[in-house]
Amino acid sequence: MSHSDIVKIAILAVGGQGGGVLTGWIVALAEANGWRVQSTAVAGVAQRTGATIYYLEMCPLEEQAPVFALAPAAGDVDVLIAAELMEAGRAVLRGFVTPDRTTLIASTHRIHAVSEKVVPGDGQAPEDRVFAAMERSAKRVVAADFQRMAVEAGSVISASLFGALARADVLPFPRRSFIGVVQDSGRGVEASLRAFEAALADDQPPDRAAATERVPPRGPNHLVAEWNVLEARVSELPGPVRQMAETGLRHVIDFQDLSYGKEYLDHLHRFVALDDGAFVMSATAAKYLANAMVYDDVIRVADLKTRRARFARVRGDMRLGASDVAHITEFMHPRVEEACGTLPAPLGAWIEARPRLARWLDRRINKGRKVRTSGLSWFALLYVVAGLKRWRRGTYRHRIETEHLDNWMDLALTTASHDRALAAEVLACRRLIKGYSDTRVRGESKFDAVLQALPLLKDRGDAADVLRRLREAALQDEHGHALDAELEAFASVAPASS
Amino acid sequence: MAERSFAKEVQDLRIGAGQEFRGEGILAITKALLECGVGYVGGYQGAPVSHLIDVLSDAEDILDELGVHFEANASESAAAAMLAASVNYPIRGAVTFKGPVGANVAADALANLSSGGVMGGAIVILGEDYGEGSSIMQERTHAFATKSQLWLLDPRPNLPSIVRTVQKGFELSEASNTPVILQVRIRACHVYGTFEAGDNQRPPLTVREALEDPQRRTERITLPPFTYQHEIEKVADRLPAAVRFIEEQQLNEHFGSEGEVGIILQGGMYNGVIRALQRLDLADTYGKSEIPLYVLNVTYPLVNTEVLEFCSGKRAVLVVEEGQPAYIEEAIGALLYRHQGSSTLVGKGALPMAGEYTGTVLMDGVTRFLREHGNGLLPEAHPSTNGHAEDSDDEGLSSAVPIRPPGFCTGCPERPIFAATKLVEESLGPHHIAGDIGCHLFSILPPFEIGSTTMGYGLGPASAAALSATGARRSISFIGDGGLWHNGLTSSIGNAVYNESDNVIVVVDNFYSAATGGQDVLSSRADRASKSTHHSIADAIRGLGVRWVKEVDRTYDVKRLKNLLTDALTTEEKGPKVIIASSECMLNKQRRERPQRNTAIKEGKRVVVPRFGVDEDVCTGDHACMRLSGCPSLSVKTLDDPLRDDPVASIDESCVGCGNCGEVADAAVLCPSFHRVDVVHNPGPRDRLLSRVSGFFIGALQQWRDRRRLVFEERG
C-alpha cells in the first residue's frame, strides 16, 4: 500500500476552542469504522488562547502497523479544519492547504487577536485577503460561520465543525457513524447534535445586522410634520450628500431635537455651497458635523441608558425571554468636569475658574458608582437627568462643544476656499476625538497636533494626502508615537515657513 | 485538582497481559512503569509531561495497591534527589520533568546521583520542550547526559517503542549502575495510539520494606576520595557495560535494505524521516525503506562498532539530529576520522542548525541529501515543499494574518493585576519590572507590555536584585505561587530580606501551579486526601522576616491594587515590600463551578449568573478598555452605521462575569458603556414581584417619553 492511502487531517484552532474534543471525536469515528488512527496535540501554557495545531493520521486497519507522522507537513494535508478565519489564513501561509488535495473546512467567524483590538482606530485584519487565499489554495472550500451555528444551537464549535466534516464527505465513513460518535460523547449530546445537523445542512442563520432597513420615525403628529420639512430639505441636497445627511440628521435630532437638526442642515449647507460637482467634502461634512454635534455628555448617557430600545437590546444580547428576571448594573465614574458640564454655562464656568473649589467638589463627586438601572430609584434618577435635555443648550458643556465646533468648521470653510480636498481631511480629523476622560484628552491633543500642521501645508499639491497620513498615524497607537514620527518626518522635508 | 482529570483513563492502567491499551503517550509510559515493577515515582509538572504528574496523581489508588510510593515533588531538584532511593536499594524509581529547564534545576542532584551510580534502575522521564508549542528557551538536554554521564534514550515515537524503552531503560540502568534519561518530545507525549499491555508488577522490594532494613555503602557517597573512584568507574566499568547491553539487546534498530547511502537518526526523528521517504516513494506505508536507516533509540552513548559498521561501504551518510550543537554528528565525525572512514558525513547543512525538524524541514533535508549523494535514487518528479508559503503570499496574506501568541484566559485574575500596574506606571512613571515563569509572564505582551526579563522559575525578585539602590525609584518584580514554593521563597524572598532590598515584590497567587495545568501547591485551597494544602503564603513570607506584607484577596479590585502598589513604591518603610494578590485561576474555577451551577439550575435552585455587556451607542470605539484588558471575550465589532469609522467594543457569550471590565472602567475612568447583567435563574416569588413592579413603572416612564419625541428605529 502506498502512503497516499493515509488520510491526513490537521485542525488549526485557538486555544480554548475545544480542538481536543473534535480530535477525540475524529479518533472515535475512525476506530468505530475499523481504521487505525493516530492523533497528536500540544497541550500546556503554549495553548492558552494562542494558535494551536491538532493533527491526525488514519488508514484502513491492516495486519502491519503503518508509520504515521506526528505533525502536518506543507503540501501533505488532505483535510484542514480551521476553527477561525485567520487560522485558515495561517494554514494557507504554512503551506498546509494545497490545490491538488486539500479540502479546507473553515469557520468564517473572527476571534480578534490582541494586536487587532488595542489599536485606537480600526486594527481589524483584512478578511478579503484571507478569503481570496482560501479559494486560491484549496482544492475545495467548505466555509461558513460555524461558531454562530454552534451558539444558536446552544453548543460549541467542535460540534458544528464535526458536522462540516461530515458534510464535506471527505472521509469514507457513513453519516450515522458521525452521529453515533456524538451520541456516545456523553455531555450536552442534544445541543451537539443540533449544531452538528445545522452544519450538515449548511443551515446558516440569517445575519441580523446586515438585514436592517430604515423606517420613518414615529412620534406626535406635529413633530412628524416638522421632520417631513427637514427631510424634504435633505432630498434637495446633491445626490452624493443625501444619504449621509439623512443619517446625520436622524442622529442629531435623536440627540437633541428638531431645531438642532435644522442647525445641522444649516451648517451642512455652508459646505455644499462651496463644493464642487463631486461633493466629497460635503458628504464628509455631513458625517463629521453629525458626530461633532452629538457629543457625549451626562444627559446623553442617561438618555441612552434609560431607553426602551436599549433595555430590549440588552435582554436580546443575553437571550432572555419576557418573563426572565435580570438586573442591569452600570459602571459610571462621574468627575467634577461632568458635573460642571451639566450646570448652566455661567455657573459651570465660574466653578471651573476656581481650581480649589473644583478640586473640593471633585473629591465628593469623583468616584466609581455602580448604578442599577433595572431598579426603580436609579432608573428614576437617570430618567430625570435625561430629561435635562430641554435645558442642554444652556449648559456649560454645550458652550464648550459649540465653540469647538465653530472653530473647526471655520477652519474647514476657510480651507475650502482654496483646497476642498484638504478641507475634507480637516473635517475627517474629527474622528480623532473620542472616548472619555484621559482618552478624550489624548484624542483632542492628537486632533490639535494634526491640525497644527495645516499652515505648513499651504500651497502644497499633496496637502490633503499629508493630512490624511497624519490622521491615520494618529490612530495607530495610544500615545501618538506613530504620529510624532510622521510629524517629524514631515517637518524635516517641509520647506521652512518663515 | 488539575486542569485535566485522568480519573477515567487511569482505570486502563489496571489492564493485564493480552489486552490492548489505548491512550496518550504519557499514559502509556505510566503503564510501562507499573509493568516494570517500579517502586517509587515522582516529578515536577511542566509541559509536555505535566499530564504524567496528573495521571500519577489520579492513579494514587492503583499505586497504593501495588505498593508504589508517589511523591509530587516540590521541584525538579527535589525529584532528582528522590532517585537517591535507588543508590543503596535494588528499587526501581522514575521521576519526570521537562527539559532542559527541569534538568537545569535538577542538575545538582543529577550530577551527584550519576557520580555514585545506582543499584536499582533509575529513570528520568524528560519531556523535551523544543519546537512548536514550546514555552521555554530553545536548547537541548543532550549536554546534561554527556556531562554527568547519564544514558540518553530517544525512542521512536510510537507507543510500543516507548513502552519497550521504559522496560529496557530500567535494565540498562541496572546493568551499568547508571541513571538514564528517557527523552520524549512534545507531540510524542500527547500522541494517541495503542500497544499490547502486560501485567503490572509489584516492586520486588518496596520502599516500606527498604525502610525496615536500611543500607549504606560509604563508597557510593559523593565525597573525596570516593569521587575520584567514581570517575574512573564511569569510564572503565559503566560505559563499557552500557555499550555491551545496548548492543546485546539491540536497543538501536536497523531498517531498510543495503545501499550506498544511509541515514543515521535519533529515534524521535524516525516517523518524520519515514514520512519524507514515503513522499519520495522510497518507503511504504509501513516504513519499509529503500534507504538503510540506523535508528538511535539510545543517543548517548553511541555504540562505536555499530556506527562504523553502518557507515562502512556507504558513500554518504546523513545524520538527522534535531537542535544544536550537533553532538551526535560531531561524535560520528570524530569516530570516522579516527577509523579512516571514507563515507561523506552530511548533517547540519543539508538540515538546518536551529529549529524543530518538522515534516517540511525533513522533507527538504532528505531531498537535498539524496539529490547530492543519492545517485539516481531520487525519483525524477518528486513533490517539493519549497515555495508553498511564498506562493500563497503574493497578495499580502502574511501581513493580514495577525500573530496569536498565548495570553491570559477569559476572566483571568492576573489581568487586573497588570491593569493596575499599568495605571500606576501612568501616574508614577515607568519602573524596572522583572518577570518570572508562569501565566503572569503573558504580561510582557500587548496590551500590558510589562516586564523586562525572566530569569527562571521563582527567580523574578532575585533577578531584580542588582537593580536596587537606596532612595532610587524602586523596581517591581512578579512571582507566582508556583514559583514561590518551587524555590522562590528562599531564592527570591529570603535573598531580598537578607540583602535589605527596598524593592517591591508582587506574589501572584492563583491557588495552583496554573501554567503547567492547575496542579495543587502548598497554598492551594483544595482539600486533598493525601496532600497537605492551605498553607499561608503571607505567614511564610512574614516568617522570613518581611515586615511590609499586604494581602488582596480579590485581584479584580483594581483600585485597591493600584493604591497598594502606589503605597509600596512610595512608603518610607525599609526592606522588601510584598503584595500578595490572590484570586483563583478562572480556568480551574469555571471547571469546578460550572457543572455545580448547571446542576443547581437544573434542580430549580435560585442562581444568579453575571455577564458583562457594552452599550454600543455609548461606546465611542476608542478601545481604551481593551488596552487595559486583552480578554478574549472583550473584542471589537463593526457596526452597520455609516457615521462610525471605528469598530466598537463588544463582549461575547464566553464572558464569565469576572468583573474586570467594570473595575477597570472605574479605576481608569473609562467610558460608561459597560454594564453587568445578572440573570436570575429560577427566580423566587420576591424576585418576580420586584421585577414586575419595577418593570411596570420603568415601562410606563419609557412610554411616556417615547410618546413625546421622535423615535428612530431600524427594522431588522
Say whether B702 and A327 touch across the interface (CB within 8 A): no
d(CA A67, CA A57): 10
ipTM: 0.94
To the nearest 10 degrees (0 to 180), the angle between helices A396-416 and A420-428 is 160
* Closest CA of chain B from A48, distance in Å: 5
DSSP string, B105-160: HHHHHHHHHHHH--SS-EEEEEEE--STT--S----SHHHHHHHT-EEE---SSHH
Partner residue facing A443 (CB), from B403, B622, B679 = B622
pLDDT of residue A460: 86
The C-alpha of A179 sits at a distance from chain B's nearest C-alpha, in angstroms, of 22
Q: Which residues of A touch B357 (CB under 8 A)?
A: none
Q: Is the pLDDT of residue A323 over 70?
A: yes
Which of B 420-479 lie inside 8 A of A, CB atoms? 439, 442, 445-447
Determine the pLDDT at residue A458. Answer: 80
Predicted local distance difference test score (pLDDT) of residue B567? 98
Question: What was the pLDDT predicted at B655?
Answer: 95
pLDDT at B3: 75
| Partner A contacted by B515 (CB < 8 A) | yes
With an 8 Å Cβ cutoff, are A380 and B706 in contact? no
pLDDT at A43: 74
Out of B285, B400, B705, closest to residue A2 by CB: B285
Is B325 an interface residue toward A (CB < 8 Å)? no
Across the interface, do B406 and A47 touch by the CB < 8 Å criterion? yes
Percentage above 90 pLDDT, chain A = 85
Q: Chain B partners of A307 at a C-beta cutoff of 8 Å?
A: 702
Rounded CA separation A121/A473 (Å): 10
One DSSP character per residue, B311-343 reads HTT-SEEEEE--SSS-HHHHHHHHHHHHTT--S
Q: With contacts defined as CB-CB under 8 Å, which chain A residues touch B281?
A: 2
Among B52, B156, B643, most A C-beta atoms within 10 A, so best to mutate, is B643
Alpha-carbon span A79 to A101, nearest angstrom = 8
- Contact with chain A for residue B383, Cβ under 8 A: yes
List, for residues A245-265, the tens digit of each pLDDT value: 999 999 999 999 999 999 999
Residue A495 preceded by cis peptide, ω within 30: no
φ/ψ (deg, to 5) at B63: -60, -40
Residue A46 binned pLDDT confidence (cut-offs 50, 70, 90): low
Give A-chain residues touching B390 at CB under 8 angstroms.
none
Distance, CA of B443 to CA of B435 (rounded, Å): 8
* pLDDT per 10-residue tile (average), chain B, 716 residues: 81 94 94 98 93 91 96 97 98 97 98 98 97 93 98 98 98 98 95 95 97 97 97 98 98 95 98 97 95 98 98 97 98 97 96 97 96 86 50 74 94 97 96 96 96 97 94 96 98 98 97 92 93 97 98 97 98 97 95 94 96 95 94 95 96 94 93 95 95 96 95 77
pLDDT band at A498 (very low <50, low <70, confident <90, very high): very low
Q: Which residue of B has its CA nearest to A223?
A: B710
Three-state DSSP string of B601-647: HHCCCCEEEEEEEECCCCCCCCCCCHHHCCCCCEEEECCCCCCCCCC
Listing DSSP states for A114-141 in one string gives HHHHS-SS-----HHHHHHHHHHH-SEE
DSSP letters, B354-391, are SS---HHHHHHHHHHHHHHHSTT-S-SS----TTHHHH
Q: How far is B701 from chain A (nearest CA, A)?
A: 8
Cβ contacts of B287 on chain A, cutoff 8 Å: 66-67
Tell me, what's the pLDDT at B133?
86
CA dist B367 and B350 (Å) reads: 9
Q: Hey, how many other C-beta atoms are within 10 angstroms of the C-beta on A320?
A: 15
CA atoms in the 13 A half-sphere facing the CB of B308 = 11
- Cβ-Cβ contacts under 8 Å, A251 against chain B: 643
Residue A469, chain B, CB below 8 Å: the answer is no
Interface test with A, best of B96, B590, B622 (most A CBs within 10 A): B622
Q: Which residue of A has its CA nearest to B624?
A: A439
Which residues of chain B lie closer than 8 angstroms to A29, CB-CB? none
Give the closest-approach CA distance of B529 to chain A in angstroms. 26
Per-residue pLDDT tens for A127-146?
A: 999 999 999 999 999 999 99
Of how many residues is chain A composed?
498
Determine contact: B671 vs chain A, CB below 8 A: yes
What's the predicted TM-score (pTM) here? 0.95
Task: Note whether A308 contacts B: Cβ–Cβ < 8 A.
Answer: yes
Residue A194, CA atoms < 13 Å, CB-side half-sphere: 14
Write down the mean pLDDT value for chain A.
93
When pLDDT is cut at 50, 70 and 90, the band that residue A108 belongs to is very high
Interface of B with A in 269-308 (CB under 8 A): 270-272, 274-275, 278-279, 281, 283-287
Peptide bond into A174 cis (omega under 30): no
Residues 518-577 of B with CB under 8 A from A: 559
**Residues with Cβ within 8 Å of residue B97, at least 6 apart in sequence:** B43, B44, B45, B46, B49, B76, B79, B80, B103, B105, B106, B124, B126, B127
Is residue A241's pLDDT more than 60? yes
DSSP state of B711: B
Q: Which of A6, A117, A248 shows the shortest C-beta gap to B285?
A: A6
In contact, B302 and B331? CB cutoff 8 Å: yes
Q: Name the residue among B508, B664, B485 with its Cα closest to residue B582.
A: B508
Distance from CA of B689 to the nearest CA of A (A): 10
Which tens digits make up the pLDDT trace of A261-278? 999 999 999 999 999 999
pLDDT score, position A322: 83
Of all residues in chain A, the one with the smallest CA distance to B655 is: A318
Q: Find out whether B446 and B690 touch, Cβ atoms under 8 Å.
A: no
Closest by CA position to B660, among listed B457, B328, B416:
B416
Q: What's the CA gap between A193 and A153, in Å, rounded?
A: 9
Of B48, B286, B714, the CB nearest to A212: B714
Q: State whether residue A68 sits within 8 Å of chain B by CB.
A: yes
Nearest CA in chain B to A50: B406
pLDDT at position A303:
97
